[in-house]
Amino acid sequence: MHQDIVNIAQDLKRSIPRDTIKHRLNGELKSTPGETEMARAKRVEASIDLAVQLFLMMDLPVQPLGVSNRPSYPPWNRSDIKSFLASQYSGAVQYGDKNIKLQKIFNIRNLEHIAGIKFHWTRNLADHLRLDEDNKELSIFQYKSFLQAQKTNDIYPTGFIEEALKTLSLLFPPDPETRKWLKKTFTDNGEIFDKQLLRCNRLQLEERQIENFKFWHDRIVILKEFFDEVEPSTISQWWFDQRKRVQWYTFWVAAVVLSLTVFFGLVQSIEAGMQVWKAWHP
């Protein structure tokens, strides 16, 4: 079985159509005792899908980027996998980005602290940056090392892997706070994480322009709009939310003034009570 998966992966790399791979497997795979033709056909299909999952870290059917739900899409039935991925990931942009600015504050820590987003670490590259708005959960592909190893894999559309790496640099800037957040998050969940996430490149202002993102453009737009629309509702969210600096300072100045007013009012009440007590108990 192991060698069969390796052979399928080699076929994928040589851009051999799925029908041809199926025909070869039908001639090579031995039927198990009592196995029906339908069961054998399903085993062949499952073997091909497994090879794709292991070779490309993508589950089938592949979902086009930009959609946040999971509608049905035509499965990969006939063509070679490279042509199929090119048809699914053409880089066509659906959502406008006129007011989208990717400031430094737009990172993984603030998505959690300010927007209250939870994170789902996924092994499926097709799910990367998929936002479930109802549950406020964001899927993030966690294996940066795998992406780095795929830079020369021409099965993916040109620029696809490089842009995926850039999205990780956008979310995980190389600063002490982000490193601390990463280590704590995975430690709390008892998970092992790819330490290459601690070594993401720092994106300069020019690199953070939304126009530089083609394949992941729509998912970034959706995520940024969600982030911008969220208003803080807890004290911790107010503390971390510095998107509107004037409003942030106004809130905390008012909070300090209110706290001091309450404090001194309490002190005066205690002093007045003590004076009354002394008057009655000279």
HEC profile for 203-253?
CCCHHHCHHHCCCCHHHHHHHHHHHHHCCCCCHHHHHHCCCCHHHHHHHHH
Left, alpha or beta for 209 (phi > 0: left; psi -120 to 50: alpha)?
Answer: beta
pLDDT of residue 8: 92
The answer to whether 112 and 119 are in contact (CB under 8 A) is: yes
Chunked into runs of 10 residues, the chain (282 residues) has average pLDDT values of 86 92 86 82 89 89 56 69 89 85 91 89 92 92 95 94 97 92 78 86 93 94 90 57 53 53 64 63 60
Looking at residue 77, its pLDDT comes to 76
CA distances from 114 to 8, 109, 225, 243 (A): 45, 8, 13, 10
Q: Residue 158's pLDDT is what?
A: 94
- pLDDT value of residue 72: 45
pTM for this model (two decimals) = 0.78
Question: Which tens digit of pLDDT belongs to each residue from 237-280?
Answer: 554 555 555 454 464 455 555 555 665 566 666 765 666 666 66
Q: What gap in Å lies between CA 45 and CA 23, rounded to an integer?
A: 11
